[in-house]
């Protein structure tokens, strides 16, 4: 990730400097990973899959695509998903779509394909995101730092669509996982309903491919950053 000016100044006087991503340009920084909730670090997706799908009222026998643009949603991701919805349901792909509170209204409705039984489930927000991860086989998401690390730690294959604004930090967040093969990267201007209709069914039905991506992400990212950071803080305090 790209540190801001405050972080760069603080790094000069700090007793120790830690970062979440490798190659972060902070002097003397040690990469320990991003501190995460225990509900994420301890999640066993296969073991929780059936319970999670029951919670969201999704069928246990059909693949699930999780779509989220973060807590505020993402217009381009939402529009592409809704444009592709009918085609994905017809291909037997269920969709759990987290639109963001500001994008959700009563006009956005759940629907089910009568032939395949696949359901589109739009929600405004998910309080327990680990359960959404457990329900899903594949995710389409922005590549904020938290989402990149969480999906890698739980082993959820993800197509990252970085925010097209700013200094490119979202693309950099995903670099290591994408380069290793644990995720895919798609430019925001390349995402469309046609792209999702054409690519998602093949990806989500490729069980072996998803398993490879899952294993790569799961092994690549540290899951003990919270414990490590807490111990380092205590060590400094004792000094």
Distance in angstroms (rounded) separating the CA atoms of residues 141 and 152: 13
pTM for the model stands at 0.88
* Dihedral-angle region of residue 68 (phi above 0 means left; psi in -120 to 50 means alpha; beta otherwise): beta
173-227 residue pLDDT tens: 999 999 999 999 999 999 999 999 999 999 999 999 999 999 999 998 888 888 8
| CA proximity to 213, closest of 151, 162, 142 | 151
Higher pLDDT pick, 160 / 102: 160
What's the pLDDT at 13?
A: 72
DSSP 3-28: --HHHHHHHHH-S--EESSTT---TT
DSSP category for residue 101: G
User: For 67-84, how does the pLDDT look when each residue is reduced to its tens digit (9 = 90+)?
Assistant: 998 655 588 999 999 999
């Amino acid at each position: 990730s790209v540190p801001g000016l405050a972080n760069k100044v603080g790094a000069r006087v700090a007793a120790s400097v830690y970062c979440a991503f490798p190659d972060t340009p902070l002097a003397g920084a040690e990469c320990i990973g991003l501190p995460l909730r225990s509900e994420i670090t301890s999640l066993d997706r296969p073991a929780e899959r059936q319970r999670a799908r029951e919670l969201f009222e999704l069928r246990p026998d059909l693949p699930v695509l999780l779509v989220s643009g973060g807590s505020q949603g993402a217009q381009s991701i939402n529009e592409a998903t809704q444009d592709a919805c009918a085609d994905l349901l017809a291909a037997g792909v269920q969709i759990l779509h987290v639109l963001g509170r500001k994008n959700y209204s009563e006009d956005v409705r759940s629907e089910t394909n009568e032939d395949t039984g696949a359901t589109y489930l739009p929600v405004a927000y998910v309080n327990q995101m680990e359960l959404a991860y457990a329900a899903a086989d594949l995710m389409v998401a922005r590549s904020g730092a938290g989402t990149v690390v969480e999906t890698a730690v739980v082993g959820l294959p993800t197509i990252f669509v970085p925010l097209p604004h700013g200094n490119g930090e979202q693309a950099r967040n995903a670099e290591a996982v994408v380069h290793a093969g644990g995720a895919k990267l798609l430019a925001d201007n390349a995402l469309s309903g046609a792209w999702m209709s054409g690519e998602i069914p093949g990806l989500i039905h490729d069980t072996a491919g998803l398993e490879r991506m899952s294993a790569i992400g799961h092994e690549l990212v540290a899951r003990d950053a919270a414990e490590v950071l807490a111990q380092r803080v205590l060590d400094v305090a004792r000094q």
